[in-house]
A and B are shown apart, each in its own frame.
Chain A
């Protein structure tokens, strides 16, 4: 059973374009995190959102947590080749061992930005 559904699975765009990646679930999360993984490396945390409706910005990246804490989105403005990578969302589920650090990962969105 896949707790977190990410879409799209693959995204190939030109430099300068905008894009949005979605992370959806029927479960409620106590927190949701976004990671980026580059080839040959482990995932690196970008942001954690914990409050329903929360919006966080990291330069050209905007992260939003849904009001009901069941979904999240990542929007990138004016994408650059350096944004290329695998973007993973991960959620800590309420009442399912979240205090023990258990995270459920989505399958990821592979983003390629062409110059």
Chain B
């Protein structure tokens, strides 16, 4: 059973398009995250939700909009995609306060 699953795994799209990445966790965790990993492998937090409430919102363009319909799901919608958005996006979850984060397998986004 996959603990944190995200779809799609690969996404190639043109500049200016709008796309979404979906994420689900079956661990019963209260907190979910979106991380971005750039080409140099640096992993940086974008958003965090705790029980459907946004608690961390780093300096991210407002073209990125997370949505959490329930505490097991956290989706990421990106408007007007730009070349610089190309990266691997990881969904993750944790049960605070252990802070142990469980990552999904990542979604490889390529904007052309």
Interface residues of chain A, those whose CB is within 8 Å of chain B, are 31, 33, 37, 40-45, 48, 86, 88, 90, 92, 97-103, 105, 107-108, 110
Other contacts beyond A33-B101, A41-B106, A48-B98: 8, CB < 8 A: A31-B99, A97-B56, A98-B97, A98-B99, A100-B56, A105-B42, A105-B43, A107-B41
Q: Which residues of A contact B94 (CB under 8 A)?
A: 101
From residue A5, how far is it (CB to closest CB) to chain B in Å?
A: 12
Measured CA separation A22–B53 after assembly (Å): 35
Measured CA separation A92–B99 after assembly (Å): 8
B50:A100 contact, CB within 8 angstroms:
yes
Tally of contact residues, B, Cβ under 8 A: 27
Is B59 interfacial (CB-CB < 8 Å)? no
A42:B55 contact, CB within 8 angstroms:
no
Measured CA separation A74–B104 after assembly (Å): 24
Q: Which residue of A lies closest to B45 (CB)?
A: A102
The residue among B94, B97, B99, B104 with the most chain A CB atoms within 10 A of its own CB is: B99
Q: Give the contacting residue for A45; candidates B40, B41, B44, B100; CB below 8 A.
A: B100
With A97-B56, A101-B97, A107-B40 already in contact, the answer to whether A42 and B45 are too (CB < 8 A) is no
Q: Give the contacting residue for B101; candidates A45, A86, A97, A99; CB below 8 A.
A: A45
Is B102 interfacial (CB-CB < 8 Å)? yes
Measured CA separation A101–B50 after assembly (Å): 9
Within 8 A of A (CB), among B50-77: 50, 55-56
